[in-house]
Amino acid sequence: MADFEKISLALQKGKAKEVTEMVEAAIAEGVSAEEILNKGLMSGMNIIGEKFKNNEVYVPEVLIAARAMNQGAALLKELLIEDGVKATGKVVLGTVKGDLHDIGKNLVRMMMEGKGLEVVDLGTDVSAQKFLDAAKEHDAKVVACSALLTTTMKEMANVVKAFEDAGLRDETTIMIGGAPVTQNYCDSIGADIYTADAASAATAALGIFVK
């Protein structure tokens, strides 16, 4: 039986090797990718988040936990890809300027790819201009922005403006998300779609292409 508690604890300690071994074992046992992600990896990351907030752990510990999280989650990628899905559309994705958090963004990518979408991942610290340039270069009609800081989420308004100024706003769907982002914020900056989690972001993105 998969021990989610053990996966969570190893992640909190940043033991990437143990995390990957346990995730591999759980996969081999036939445990669903969603369960491993939510009950093991995300649960551990949430606990680290609380401890970080309370100054019980600091940036270095959080960084190694994040590395373990990303490595564990990468193993689930293939399983999250639905059988037989065909590429249905292209999305430009990134974490906004000034923001280095990439775990949620990576999950969004995985879930979108799992639904057969092609994702151009620009990484972290992505300026509005870079989102615009990439959308033009790849002829992508969907742009997805992630932000984890109250200070950086404001950059999303600049992304909306960049597409307006370039005359591409009508033909581009701008999706936003991340812990501090809300539906109200989405409405206030004139973005198109807010979703609270990675799976919903993928479903919403697919919905843009498949009516």
39 binds ligand B1M (CB under 6 A): no
Helix and strand element counts for the chain (H, E): 10, 5
**Min. distance of Cβ 193 from ligand B1M in angstroms?**
8
Q: Please identify which residue in 62, 120, 166, 208 interacts with ligand B1M, judged by CB under 6 A.
A: 62
CA distance 142 to 99: 21
Residue with Cβ nearer ligand B1M (30 or 184): 184
Q: Please identify which residue in 14, 102, 126, 142 interacts with ligand B1M, judged by CB under 6 A.
A: 102
Q: Which residues pair with 142 in a beta bridge?
A: 91, 173
Q: Which residues contact 20 (CB under 8 A, 6 or more apart)?
A: 68, 71, 72, 75
How far is Cα of residue 167 from the mean position of the Cα atoms in its chain? 27
Residue with Cβ nearer ligand B1M (8 or 195): 195
**Min. distance of Cβ 207 from ligand B1M in angstroms?**
13
**Which range, of 4-12, 75-83, 133-141, 173-181, touches ligand B1M by CB under 6 A?**
173-181
Task: Give the E-state strand segments of the chain in sequence order.
Answer: 89-95, 117-121, 142-146, 173-177, 193-194
CB 102 within 8 A of CB 67: no
User: Which amino acid would we find at residue 202?
Assistant: A
- Contact string 103-142 vs ligand B1M (x = CB under 6 A): xxx-xx----------------------------------
55 binds ligand B1M (CB under 6 A): no
CA distance 148 to 104: 9
Chain residues binding ligand B1M by CB under 6 A are 42, 45, 48-49, 52-53, 59, 62-63, 66, 98-105, 107-108, 144-146, 148-150, 175-180, 195, 197-198, 201
